[in-house]
Amino acid sequence: MGVNRRTFLQGTALAVASLGTGSAGTNWAKLRRRLGERLVLPQDAGYDRLRMPFNTVYANRRPAAIARCVRPEDVQACLKFASHERIPVAARSGKHSYAAYSLPENGLVVDLAGMSAVEVAGNRARIGAGAQLLPVYEAIGGAGRALPAGTCRSVGIGGLALGGGISVIGRKYGLTCDHLAGARIVTPDGCLRTVSAHEEPDLFWALRGGGGGNFGIVTQFTFRTDPAPDVTVFNLGYPPGATAEVFDAWQEWMAQAPDELWSGFRVDAGPLSDPNVGGVHVGPAKDLLPLLDRMPRAERYVQEMSYLEAMRYYAGDPDPGKPFVASSRMLRDHVPGARIAGLMDGQRNVAILFDSFGGALARVAPDATAFPHRDAHASAQIFVDVVDETVEQARARLAVVRDGLGAGNTGYVNYIDPEMPDWPTAYYGRNLARLRKVARRHDPDRVLAFPQGL
């Protein structure tokens, strides 16, 4: 990560020393004078709880400090400090980075959880970068408005929006980043900037799909919202062994679907892989049922809900996290169902989640925002739970499934994979050169450097 100095806190003597200059010369006392007890060091109460990532493969990673920021000035102080001390620094919103890049070893975590206010006025929502999705939905949906975003309740709005933001209403309303109207961002020089289509437009362009951690630390987003629709949630249950037939049918079905219909196809590994189709239709059940009749017969669950009820439904129960490895591909062509069945039959602890694209997502030019995958017809998110094998063994099996999809060198930056081949091209495609130019302009000294940073 281009680190010249590291802080190692071993034993009481070194822990005490860390409040002064530290064993590697890091003057934590200087930052503590600014943040007080909101700067949490390894010897402080609550450190282990605060550092724990969602992906517990990285549970042993130990940052040198965690700064619990509550205002933009705190973030400015952190970036100035990290730049001066030449230590790794990363922003953290919801702790969901699949590679735990928001938890730099021996570095400084800029924790934004204390900056989570949501204010809704008219068709705009101002959201602190540390807000998690369920509280965002409660505030926006409670005001009768809607914002297309993710489903997991504890994902942070920051990482999600900066990478693009796939939604269960995305085919109708677009990506989360398509609704970004402005942002407040602290760049590595410590400057707090306001960006929009009219203020610093290149940086604004990069924040819409260019990935978190590349250009600065966003402290607040302003999103355009839409009137909250009533929706119909559905699920189609199929028996194990039906993967090939159903996946072929699902791809053809979604290729002809109206914008109001979004669906996901999930397949879980097993002796015979187990397929499932779920989704959301913007509108009443009576308009959805004829569409469902075009899919192979299945056990059906159909329920009309308000937008807010649907977001609560998808949010599910709290999830403390688990050990896993993950990757992704973006599907631009039809993938034979037999190929998916061949990858998943006889496997274990593997799941692939396909999200349908098209509709409003595809009507934005691929260079209009930094998100490059506008021509995809689906994304594929691959998980391997690390249960009874080493992480290395799980990664080897993950690579077989990822590359076996035959979807080319593509991937979604929000499903970041530390072993993604040629990750810059996979994540950013033809937008890569422009993104690198923006990153060099705002972070010439690579203060925000991380293994897959621009």
Separation CA 187–CA 219 (nearest Å)? 11
Residue 217 pairs in a beta bridge with: 186
| The pLDDT of residue 1 | 33
Residue 286's nearest CA partner among 302, 297, 262 is 302
| Segment 287-334, tens digit of pLDDT | 999 999 999 999 999 999 999 999 999 999 999 999 999 999 999 999
Stretch 199-215: mean pLDDT? 97
Indicate the pTM of the whole model: 0.94
Residue 331 pairs in a beta bridge with: 378
- Structure confidence at residue 208 as a pLDDT band (50, 70, 90): very high
- Measured N-to-C along each axis, helices 72-85 and 28-35 cross at an angle, to the nearest 10 degrees, of 170
C-alpha torsion 100→101→107→113, nearest 10: -80
**Are the C-beta atoms of residues 343 and 407 closer than 8 Å to each other?**
no
Stretch 163-172: mean pLDDT? 98
| Segment 422-441, tens digit of pLDDT | 999 999 999 999 999 999 99
- Structure confidence at residue 20 as a pLDDT band (50, 70, 90): very low
Share of the chain above pLDDT 70, in %: 95
Has residue 51 got a pLDDT over 80? yes
| Segment 99-136, tens digit of pLDDT | 999 999 999 999 999 999 999 999 999 999 999 999 99
| The pLDDT of residue 24 | 56
Stretch 144-155: mean pLDDT? 97
Q: Where are the domains of the chain?
A: 11-111, 118-227, 230-426
| The pLDDT of residue 390 | 98
- Structure confidence at residue 223 as a pLDDT band (50, 70, 90): very high
| Segment 78-88, tens digit of pLDDT | 999 999 999 99
Cα 203-206-209 angle, rounded to 5 deg: 150
Residue 38's nearest CA partner among 114, 101, 98, 138 is 114
**Are the C-beta atoms of residues 263 and 390 closer than 8 Å to each other?**
no
| Segment 256-293, tens digit of pLDDT | 999 999 999 999 999 999 999 999 999 999 999 999 99
Instruction: Map tokens 């630390």 to a residue.
Output: 217
| The pLDDT of residue 68 | 98
| The pLDDT of residue 25 | 73
**Are the C-beta atoms of residues 27 and 85 closer than 8 Å to each other?**
yes
Tokens of 56: 């517990």
Separation CA 59–CA 151 (nearest Å)? 24
Distances (CA, A) of 447 to 4, 135, 190, 441: 12, 31, 11, 12
Separation CA 8–CA 432 (nearest Å)? 36
Q: Which CATH class is domain 230-426?
A: alpha beta
| The pLDDT of residue 7 | 31
User: What's the CATH code, domain 11-111?
Assistant: 3.30.43.10
**Are the C-beta atoms of residues 429 and 366 closer than 8 Å to each other?**
yes
The residue type at 384: V
Separation CA 331–CA 334 (nearest Å)? 7
Instruction: Map tokens 């591909």 to a residue.
Output: 329
- The mean predicted confidence, pLDDT, of the chain is 94
**Are the C-beta atoms of residues 203 and 193 closer than 8 Å to each other?**
yes
Higher per-residue confidence, 16 vs 420: 420
CATH topology of domain 118-227: 3.30.465
Domain 118-227 identical in fold to domain 230-426: no
- Structure confidence at residue 15 as a pLDDT band (50, 70, 90): very low
Stretch 156-184: mean pLDDT? 98
Tokens of 71: 């205002």
Largest Cα separation within the chain, whole Å, is: 71
